[in-house]
């Protein structure tokens, strides 16, 4: 059964998605087994923090301009192979300064990669600040978003240890970005429950929530998500690995589907989660009973929530619908 229909991916960390081919270039002689041990998360990963720790080795390989360009193109090529037609790639620029690059040079290197790519995948960037960052670091990241907003950076994100750090250091950064008319997303409802989603929406005015799967724990929140048209960036395999929902059978994604919540399907980190979108959709069919109409629905919702213009959305919507037509009926 083929899962080669066109896809939208809005939640994908570059540093969590480096292929064996990329790593082999910068760690000559590394074996496939060593790569899997270091750059793929073990299935029995215990927590979100374990998952985040697995990204550190990859981040060390993204400290020069050449590495950043190569890493970005590496992930884009993976998207192309997975039949993704639009993606928003995210990373935290301030984690890539150990070899002397300035924050601006880091962003410009990734944008150079995006602009040099001439294939079928449309790509934009989201810049992340991190929960443990200082206010100054978050403000600097916000300034980078604003500076490069006309050149392919489309949003600000807040990532990392949701349970260990609050929002105090980040409210000013999000307020500044929002004031410039630039969209924001933020991780919530992953390591903490529905109350974290409520707090994040209230204090950061995010238009999307990264993960957000635990919103199902509060029916009033689900109604608010529908009312305010807040999109959830759902990442099933990642949520299993980090034990947000360790039992796949209990994963409540169909609750979102039945309630017609706006959400999309994402891989989070293609290397760490060791998964493609095709894998995610196959799992949803086999485990959750999804058919091709469900898969079209979440891709349409993701496209509608993308941080791009209505004109760009319309072009991609036609491409999405035409690409799905041959599959209608084949996966039902």
Cite the active site residues: 190
- Where on the phi/psi map is residue 122: left (φ > 0), alpha (ψ -120 to 50), or beta? beta
Name residue 8's beta-bridge partners. 86
CA–CA distance, 78 with 88 (Å, rounded to integer):
13
DSSP 291: -
CA–CA distance, 328 with 228 (Å, rounded to integer):
30
Judge contact between 90 and 125, C-beta under 8 A.
yes
Bridging pattern class, strands 122-130 and 84-91: parallel
Residue from 326, 308, 250 nearest 122 by CA: 308
Judge contact between 213 and 184, C-beta under 8 A.
no
Q: How far from 217 is each of 228, 233, 253, CA to CA, in Å?
A: 18, 17, 12
The tally of CA atoms less than 13 A away on the side-chain side of residue 213 is 23
Catalogue the E-assigned strands of 179-287.
Answer: 183-188, 208-211, 231-234, 263-265
Catalogue the E-assigned strands of the chain.
Answer: 7-13, 84-91, 122-130, 153-159, 183-188, 208-211, 231-234, 263-265
């Amino acid at each position: 059964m083929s899962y080669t229909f066109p896809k939208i991916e809005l939640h994908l960390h570059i540093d969590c998605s480096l292929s064996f081919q990329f790593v082999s270039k910068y760690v000559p002689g590394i074996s496939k087994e060593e790569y899997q041990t270091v750059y793929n998360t073990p299935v029995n990963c215990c927590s979100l923090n374990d998952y985040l720790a697995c990204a550190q080795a990859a981040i060390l390989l993204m400290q020069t301009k050449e590495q950043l360009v190569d890493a970005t193109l590496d992930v884009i090529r993976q998207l192309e192979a997975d039949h993704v037609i639009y993606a928003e790639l995210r990373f935290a620029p301030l984690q890539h300064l150990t070899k002397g690059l300035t924050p601006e040079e880091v962003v410009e290197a990734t944008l150079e990669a995006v602009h040099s790519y001439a294939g079928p995948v449309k790509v934009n960037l989201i810049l992340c600040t991190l929960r443990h960052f200082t206010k100054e670091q978050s403000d600097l990241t916000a300034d980078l978003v604003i500076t490069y907003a006309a050149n392919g950076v489309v949003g600000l994100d807040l990532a990392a240890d949701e349970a260990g750090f609050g929002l105090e250091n980040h409210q000013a950064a999000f307020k500044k970005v929002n004031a410039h008319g630039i969209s924001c997303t933020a991780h919530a409802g992953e390591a903490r429950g529905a109350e974290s989603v409520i707090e994040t929406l209230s204090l950061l005015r995010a238009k999307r929530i990264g993960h957000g799967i635990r919103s199902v724990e509060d029916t009033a929140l689900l109604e608010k998500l529908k009312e305010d048209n807040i999109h959830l960036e759902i990442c099933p395999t990642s949520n299993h690995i980090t034990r947000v929902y360790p039992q796949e059978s209990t994963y409540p994604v169909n609750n979102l589907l039945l309630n017609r919540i706006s959400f999309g399907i994402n891989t989070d980190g293609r290397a760490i989660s060791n998964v493609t979108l095709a894998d995610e959709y196959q799992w949803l069919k086999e485990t959750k009973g999804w058919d091709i109409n469900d898969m079209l629905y979440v891709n349409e919702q993701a496209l509608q929530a993308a941080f791009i213009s209505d004109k760009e959305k319309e072009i991609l919507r036609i491409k999405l619908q035409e690409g799905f037509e041959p599959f209608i009926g084949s996966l039902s």
